[in-house]
Amino acid sequence: MAKIDTSRRGLTTVFEVTGSVLAMAYALLIASNTGAEILGFVLLLLSAGLFAAWAAIDRRWTFLLLQGFYATSAIIGLIRWA
């Protein structure tokens, strides 16, 4: 496994924490059934983008593929709820 320099580690931490918070907000918005589905799917798309960047930096290709699935789910949600 390649050693990650300090600047990349800081960046991946920001992506990880922000992506996690956005994913939790997405889940709560969708589960609440309060009419905020569009916002929820936007947050899911942003979360997937941040996690994808983290995966690419850390060369975690399977995790990157999973984020592609989540981004696709978010786009489908946006189309269906818009």
Segment 16-47, tens digit of pLDDT: 999 999 999 999 999 999 999 999 999 999 99
Q: Tell me if the pTM is above 0.85.
A: yes
Does a structural domain hold residue 65? yes
Amino acid at 67: Q
Q: How many domains does the chain have?
A: 1
Does a structural domain hold residue 17? yes
Domain hosting 44: range is 6-81
Residue 67 is predicted with a pLDDT of 98
Does a structural domain hold residue 61? yes
Predicted confidence band at 9 (pLDDT cuts at 50, 70, 90)? confident
Does a structural domain hold residue 1? no
Dist. CA 27–CA 34, nearest whole Å: 12
Residue reference for tokens 């960047």: 53
